[in-house]
Amino acid sequence: MGKELKILQNYGVLTGPPPVGTYIYGNELVASNITIDPLEWESYFSKGEIQRRLFDTMACVTFSALNINEVIFNYHIRNGMFSKENVEWLRTNGYIDSNGEVNFSDRFTAKMSETMKTGNWLYKVADSIRNHGVVPEADWAFDGTFNWDQYYAEIPQEIKNKGLEFKKRFEVSYEIVLRENMKEALTHAPLQITAHAWPTKVDGVYQKSNNQINHAISMLKPEWFIYDHYELDSSFVKQLAPDYIFGTDVYKFNVSQKEVKNMIRTLKKKDDNRIFAVAEDSFQLFEIGAFQSYKQMLDNKWVTPFEEVESLDAFSIVDGPLGFIK
């Protein structure tokens, strides 16, 4: 009976259809900017992290999603696909650890995506990464002495703000992959999958199981090697049988850096504290808030430096922060 209870344990994945309108891999609406031999992915994984210490965080969906995004960021950085300014921003803000690897906070995203004691859905975690950004592990770390309430404590606003700064620089999107397209999709990124964890091994290979889906993990390469967040046999990597059963939830992440045009002027209305940076085409406005925020943008080399803020009687602002100069 004890063995059966272990098999039926859920490690934190909730299954169900993604939101209507979620992109499907292969429809060319989301461009992949990486193509490599999947055998290479393992070398880009950051140091493995365990989701269970004194208690189980039930955050397998977060751990697997962030493991994959760390891989993608490591690949971009090592292959010179990010601007020097963005790499320096990641480094100075603590996203790149002492090992030279990107390390995102699982605790931050688990909380921001509203992980419950029953777990979470893949789409909620993916949407949180996309909408809230991510923060460095060092900023919101997993202390091994935490209990559930401490791990899921409210996050200070200044840490949330760093996630939003990350979001300003990087675009993270995701799409659904059908089983027949998994091998091809693995040439562009590791895949987030769901499966049953863990049945019997034969010659080191976990065999096909008809037991319920209870875990979210990272797929490395066919057929089939996965990266886990429970370290068994001194390794996070596990080999699954070619006919292993996966859930229908298979997600592929894409990462790109957002372009910020050079800003040649700053404007404000008289009697209005808001400050706007004006793009070099003189048609695009970006609200940059208080002067302290403006200075921070200059320090981070987001915009071309200039000396002073021009004060105008009036100009129009159309569609939120974007507008046209009158």
Beta strands 246-257; 170-176: pairing state: antiparallel
* Closest of 288, 290, 312 to residue 302, by C-alpha: 288
For residue 175, what are the CA distances in angstroms to 110, 191, 268? 20, 10, 40
Length of the chain: 326
At residue 134, what are phi and psi to the nearest 5 degrees? -135, 160
User: Which carries the bigger pLDDT value, residue 297 or residue 56?
Assistant: 56
For residue 302, what are the CA distances in angstroms to 84, 167, 262, 295? 12, 14, 8, 10
User: How much is the pLDDT for 232?
Assistant: 66
- By mean pLDDT, which of 127-131, 199-203, 227-231 is the weakest? 227-231
Q: Is 218 left (phi over 0), alpha (psi -120 to 50) or beta?
A: beta
User: How much is the pLDDT for 268?
Assistant: 66
User: How much is the pLDDT for 260?
Assistant: 55
- Average pLDDT in the 217-221 region? 96
Is pLDDT above 60 for 112?
yes
Q: How confident is the model at residue 292 (pLDDT cuts 50, 70, 90)?
A: very low
Tell me the two tokens of residue 287: 């609200």
- Which domains, ranges and CATH numbers included, belong to the chain? 2-257 (3.90.70.10), 263-312 (no CATH)
User: Mean pLDDT of all residues in the chain?
Assistant: 83
User: How much is the pLDDT for 17?
Assistant: 84
Q: What is the pTM of this model?
A: 0.78
174 and 253 Cβ atoms separated by less than 8 Å: yes
User: How much is the pLDDT for 28?
Assistant: 64
User: How much is the pLDDT for 275?
Assistant: 64
- Average pLDDT in the 132-151 region? 95
Q: How far is it, in rounded angstroms, from Cα 260 to Cα 288? A: 13
- pLDDT tens digit sequence for 176-203: 999 999 999 999 999 999 999 999 899 9
Q: How confident is the model at residue 263 (pLDDT cuts 50, 70, 90)?
A: low
User: Which residues have C-beta within 8 Å of that of residue 191, sequence separation ≥ 6?
Assistant: 68, 177, 182, 185, 218, 219, 250, 251, 252
Q: How confident is the model at residue 83 (pLDDT cuts 50, 70, 90)?
A: confident
Q: How far is it, in rounded angstroms, from Cα 288 to Cα 279? A: 12
- By mean pLDDT, which of 92-101, 176-185, 305-314 is the weakest? 305-314
